[in-house]
């Protein structure tokens, strides 16, 4: 069943809810997104916008109290992941979808050496040829600039942050998965290490012919490595398209605001502008209407009642009532 080529992924109308004292609240509100085979897709969004939830959904691994309420996740060669259960699901994880954890810093069992955990992984997936697995792992680590032998013999606490992250990537790839999901792979790292990891992600992606999903809240990181970029806000994908285009000519007011809020190293520093208001949390996401309208400079009457449908035009998808329409913006309150 193992594929040797990059799979495509199609997420359709995915709704994920978390059970809270206030009832079941949607962390993802009908997200549709497709990853073209062999591309690196980035998802950017602020904290709580549902990025990790979406990433976990790709492995049908949303943790209680959350659950996938509706929608589907089709992965080439696997079918609808949402319907997978039990052993089937477990085997898909690791084998077909590699996952690099949000906190890959701590994604290793502190009591076992990396090598032993690798062997556990091999056994879990019924690998007969464990020495070959070790060899692959050493090669992968070597490819990422590490001394494979030494790393396999090390415990987590003996590795630096950057090394752990590389080990995390190795674990995601060593079973020859062709879909790799990286959740905030560089968040806790400093700049130089981050640059190195991003380079590795990009290189490995090309060498192995993967489909890669990389999740980050740092626009710069996404811009650096991705081919296509999706922007999330309040559990919705508000804009999706080729990276250079999304960055170069953002269409959704949120994307625009985000990009404008990034200070630059060159050019006029005062061009940077803060986005007013604050991002919603699970409890404050509006039940109806556009989730961004409170902060939107282009808000129109319909935004209050109707959730804008994503509209795809020239390979770019935008979910906004105001895009491409003449608008009478309602000026939002400054702060709060």
Ligand X SMILES: Nc1ncnc2c1ncn2[C@@H]1O[C@H](COP(=O)(O)OP(=O)(O)OP(=O)(O)O)[C@@H](O)[C@H]1O
Counting contacts by CB under 8 A, is residue 23 touching other proteins? no
CB atoms within 10 A of CB 293: 22
Beta bridge partners of 34: 10
Residue whose CB is less far from other proteins, 9 or 32 = 9
The dihedral region occupied by 245, where left means phi > 0, alpha psi between -120 and 50, and beta the remainder, is alpha
Residue 165: which H helix or E strand, with range?
helix 161-173
Across the beta sheet with 228-233, the strand order is 97-100, 179-183, 211-216, 40-45, 228-233, 236-242, 316-318, 311-313
Identify which range of 32-40, 70-78, 214-222, 318-326 contacts other proteins by CB under 8 A.
214-222
Residue whose CB is less far from Mg ion, 95 or 217 = 217
Q: Which residue is nearest to Mg ion (CB)?
A: 52
Least distance (Å) between residue 129 CB and ligand X? 37
Least distance (Å) between residue 287 CB and other proteins? 19
Least distance (Å) between residue 38 CB and other proteins? 18
Cα dihedral 164, 169, 174, 177, rounded to 10, equals 160
Give the gyration radius of the chain's Cα atoms.
21
Which residues make Cβ contacts (< 8 Å) with residue 167, sequence separation at least 6? 108, 114, 141, 151, 159
Binding mask 244-273 for other proteins (x = CB under 8 A): xxxxx-----x--xxx-xxxxxxx-x--xx
Identify which range of 4-12, 59-67, 136-144, 324-332 contacts other proteins by CB under 8 A.
59-67
Tokens of 99: 């996952």
By CB under 8 A, what part of segment 122-151 binds other proteins?
123-125
Least distance (Å) between residue 289 CB and Mg ion? 25
Tokens of 334: 């400054």
Residue whose CB is less far from other proteins, 149 or 220 = 220
**Residue found by looking up tokens 């559990």 in the block:** 235
Residue whose CB is less far from other proteins, 72 or 193 = 193
Binds other proteins by CB under 8 A, chosen from 35, 43, 75, 121 = 121
DSSP 177-218: -SEEEEESTTTTS-HHHHHHHHHHHHHHHHHHT-EEEEEES-
Least distance (Å) between residue 41 CB and ligand X? 15
Tokens of 247: 């960055």
By CB under 8 A, what part of segment 148-167 binds other proteins?
155-158, 160-163
Binds other proteins by CB under 8 A, chosen from 28, 43, 59, 114 = 59
Binding mask 30-59 for Mg ion (x = CB under 5 A): ----------------------x-------
Q: Which does 292 bind (CB under 5 to 8 A by kind): ligand X, other proteins, Mg ion, none?
A: none
Q: Which residues bind ligand X (CB under 6 A)?
A: 18, 20, 27, 45, 47-53, 65-66, 217, 281-282
Report whether 208 contacts 178 (CB < 8 A).
Answer: yes
- Sign for the pseudo-dihedral over CA of 244, 246, 247, 250: positive
Least distance (Å) between residue 16 CB and Mg ion? 13
Binding mask 68-107 for other proteins (x = CB under 8 A): ----------------------xxxxxx---x-xxxxxxx
Residue whose CB is less far from other proteins, 11 or 104 = 104
Residue 68: which H helix or E strand, with range?
strand 66-75
CB atoms within 10 A of CB 157: 8
Residue whose CB is less far from ligand X, 57 or 117 = 57
Least distance (Å) between residue 31 CB and other proteins? 20
Cα dihedral 217, 243, 30, 310, rounded to 10, equals 130
Q: Enumerate binding residues for Mg ion (CB under 5 A).
A: 52
């Amino acid at each position: 069943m193992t594929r040797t080529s990059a799979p495509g992924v199609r997420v359709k109308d995915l709704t994920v809810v978390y059970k809270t004292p206030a009832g079941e609240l949607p962390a993802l509100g009908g997200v549709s997104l497709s990853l073209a085979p062999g591309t690196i897709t980035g998802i950017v969004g602020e904290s709580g916008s549902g990025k990790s939830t979406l990433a976990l959904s790709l492995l049908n691994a949303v943790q209680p109290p959350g659950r996938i309420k509706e929608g589907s996740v089709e992965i080439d060669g696997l079918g609808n992941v949402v319907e997978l259960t039990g052993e089937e699901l477990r085997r898909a994880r690791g084998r077909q979808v590699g996952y690099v954890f949000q906190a890959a810093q701590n994604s290793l069992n502190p009591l076992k050496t990396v090598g032993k955990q690798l062997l556990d992984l091999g056994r879990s997936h019924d690998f007969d040829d464990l020495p070959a697995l070790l060899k692959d792992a050493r090669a992968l680590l070597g490819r990422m600039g590490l001394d494979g032998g030494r790393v396999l013999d090390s415990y987590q606490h003996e590795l630096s942050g950057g090394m752990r992250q590389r080990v995390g990537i190795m674990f995601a790839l060593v079973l020859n998965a062709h879909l790799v999901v990286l959740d905030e792979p560089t968040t806790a790292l400093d700049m130089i290490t981050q640059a190195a990891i991003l380079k590795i992600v990009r290189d490995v992606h090309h060498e192995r012919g993967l489909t890669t999903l990389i999740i980050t809240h740092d626009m710069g990181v996404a811009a650096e490595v991705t081919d296509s970029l999706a922007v999330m806000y309040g559990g919705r994908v508000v804009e999706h398209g080729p990276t250079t285009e999304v960055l170069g000519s953002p269409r959704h007011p949120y994307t625009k605001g985000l990009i404008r809020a990034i200070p630059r190293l060159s050019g006029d520093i005062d061009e940077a502008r803060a986005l007013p208001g604050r991002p919603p949390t699970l409890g404050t996401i509006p039940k109806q209407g556009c989730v961004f309208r409170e902060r939107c400079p282009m808000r129109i009457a319909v935004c209050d009642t109707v959730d804008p449908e994503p509209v795809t035009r020239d390979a770019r998808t935008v979910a906004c009532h105001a895009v491409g329409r003449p608008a009478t913006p309602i000026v939002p309150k400054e702060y709060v």
